[in-house]
Amino acid sequence: MPYKDKQKQKEWEKKWVRSEPGLKCKRISRWKNDLKMKADDFNDIYSIYHVTECCNNCEKVFINSYDKHLDHDHATGEIRGVLCRSCNMRDVYSSSSSKSSSESDVG
């Protein structure tokens, strides 16, 4: 929403970015553009991500949004699950993992 007054524009942008639609838009944009994730419907993926309360691997309860990660294969962009920061950093879907990626698939 363009404003002639730059201060009003900044205030509006700040409010929008912190709103639920703004957060959703920003997160989906990051998944698609920055992280090159691939999915048929990012709205469905976001809905699953948003309501997931614990890690798909270790079942740790998420304390905040910084601990919640949408894990994906970096080579293919395929989304694999919602993980805590620790499991995401350990790459629990590597070939040495005892848990198969199909057990924790999001989409």
Give the pLDDT confidence score for residue 93 in this predicted structure: 62
Cα separation values, 30 from 37, 54, 58, 97, Å? 9, 22, 25, 27
What's the DSSP call for residue 31? I
Topology annotation, domain 6-103: His-Me finger endonuclease fold (3.40.1800)
pLDDT of residue 94: 62
Residue 8 pLDDT greater than 70, yes or no: yes
Average model confidence (pLDDT) across the chain? 82
pLDDT at 52: 95
Tens digits of per-residue pLDDT, 15-38? Answer: 888 888 888 998 888 888 877 888
- Predicted local distance difference test score (pLDDT) of residue 96: 42
How high is the pLDDT of residue 15? 86
> Looking at residues 41-62, what average pLDDT do you find?
93
61 contacts 68 by C-beta, under 8 angstroms: no
Confidence class of residue 106 from pLDDT cuts 50, 70 and 90? low
